[in-house]
Structure 1
């Protein structure tokens, strides 16, 4: 989907009159799911980029709002708070979301990769999320966070698509080792997508967390992908020691990072260079670690 600033201005003026007259501007981001528009200085609107059934889209947004509110109330760092769901209109065929704006610079794969302070902040974030009560909830669904072996078919596609891009022979051997790690005995509450573009920084500190609508139960190792996406060897060790991660969980975290990174390089090589390069840098860290 595409949406223009003029369409957004019309939708906001019609459905969120409290923001009428405020400056509306589109943000250039590396995101792949939503177009983001700033509303004045304190709010933003998210518009889905993938066409789905409007009813399904609405249900997804309602679930995201519930998860985001729980995350917002539990996270030790600022995160966007939902304001409301917008309806179809002005030529845009799906529901959309308005939320509060969080200031900060989007993290990059290597921007704070050598920072001990940033490593400790990431560990503090994940530790705080793990303390949120499950309330009987368990992981469900086809996404990351359950059994590693459930992703074999997708990994087969990734290896085939990456033949001309990566050392697939070596990477196949690596996945064979990583996928064999047994699943976690108990779920924990996880952000589920701690990639650089979902983290805001200032100086060498974490100051905000984005894309919180997936907050829910999963393998506790899932959020450890942040260590491989964002940190070099020594800060990674600080991160691991601060969080108190054992060998098996650490290896599963590496496996989840590997699974995610393998899908980024080939899938986004022509459409999103930032995400493709993230995949490459994460794989390089994993290979260097000789897991």
Structure 2
């Protein structure tokens, strides 16, 4: 598989083993296993039975370790399990970035088209927090994404994907025309992709990847309505979260923008992300078929 990013660092089990052995000898005898993941920011390895090692793929992901820790400290107790940072490693062995050891969370990643009980409860619990927080990475006004979304729609229309660019532009225009968020500061997770949602017996049990969390437009946490749910389950999620029509429209727009940006970029390098982008576009009615 080709690298996802031009500036991506080469990471493999041998490197991870050298880093762990050199900096955390108490874990030197634990087995290290690469984890299949659709993640685009970190390479993830299981360390023994109770830990994971996460190494940023690029320089841009290095700051996420501290961002995630600060966000979780500000949010406090949540109704689902979240990753605990057990240790932070330093650059070494030819790897130039800090890296982290997290506690393992049980559960299987959510799958498109299958229900995730407790999802609305989680979204509302995060939103209810009134602690001060940093601006959410994806919580800014939708207009700040306009040029990126339009360029991505144009780029995707030039591929062989069965993509209806005119329909996509209509969804995007509706989202832009919707009134913007003017409510009180609102906490959001900001990256509720299926791979970040862990389920046990069909119920949400844990949520990963908090580097994008912060205060912003709550519409961003509606994206599971299209990247995970179906037409038959979407309404129940909407009823439980109870967004107004404008926030729902912005949520559709954010789901569209993420998908049209992801698909051209990852279609040959990340099958998990590209498949999910196609799923979103199909649910939005702008992809005539999925692969």
In structure 1, what is the equivalent of residue 148 of structure 2?
154
In structure 2, what is the equivalent of residue 242 of structure 1?
240
TM-score using structure 1 length: 0.88
Q: Give the alignment partner of residue 50 of structure 1, picking from 42, 55, 58.
A: 58
TM-score using structure 2 length: 0.88
CA distance in 1, matches of 2:221, 2:72: 16
- RMSD, aligned α-carbons: 1.8
CA distance in 1, matches of 2:207, 2:250: 23
Report 1:80-159 matches (<5 A): 80-110=83-113, 112=114, 115=115, 118=116, 120-135=117-132, 137=133, 139=135, 143-159=137-153
Q: Where do 5+ consecutive residues of structure 2 fail to align?
A: 1-8, 287-291
How many Å apart are 1:106 and its aligned residue? Answer: 1.0
CA distance in 2, matches of 1:63, 1:206: 23
In structure 1, what is the equivalent of residue 5 of structure 2?
none
SS of the residue corresponding to residue 184 of structure 1 reads coil
Q: Is residue 227–residue 276 contact of structure 2 (8 Å, CA) maintained in 1?
A: yes
Q: Where do 5+ consecutive residues of structure 1 fail to align?
A: none
Report 1:58-97 matches (<5 A): 59-71=63-75, 73-97=76-100
How many Å apart are 1:104 and its aligned residue? Answer: 1.1
Aligned residues: 274
Q: Is residue 74–residue 132 contact of structure 1 (8 Å, CA) maintained in 2?
A: no
Q: Please list the CA deviations of residues 92-138 of structure 1 after superposition, one character each: whole Å capped at 9, or x if unmatched.
A: 1111111101011111222x1xx3xx2x4110000110111132x46
Report 1:1-291 matches (<5 A): 1-51=9-59, 57=62, 59-71=63-75, 73-110=76-113, 112=114, 115=115, 118=116, 120-135=117-132, 137=133, 139=135, 143-163=137-157, 164=159, 165=161, 166-186=163-183, 187-287=185-285
Q: Is residue 12–residue 19 contact of structure 1 (8 Å, CA) maintained in 2?
A: yes
How many Å apart are 1:189 and its aligned residue? Answer: 0.5
Q: Is residue 50–residue 103 contact of structure 2 (8 Å, CA) maintained in 1?
A: yes
SS of the residue corresponding to residue 176 of structure 1 reads helix
Q: Please list the CA deviations of residues 176-235 of structure 1 after superposition, one character each: whole Å capped at 9, or x if unmatched.
A: 122111211123101100010101112321111111222211101110111111111231
Structure 1 runs (4+) deviating above 6 angstroms are: none
How many Å apart are 1:167 and its aligned residue? Answer: 1.2
CA distance in 2, matches of 1:105, 1:249: 29
Q: Is residue 228–residue 282 contact of structure 1 (8 Å, CA) maintained in 2?
A: yes
Q: Please list the CA deviations of residues 1-35 of structure 1 after superposition, one character each: whole Å capped at 9, or x if unmatched.
A: 12121221121122122212111111121111110
Q: Is residue 33–residue 47 contact of structure 2 (8 Å, CA) maintained in 1?
A: yes
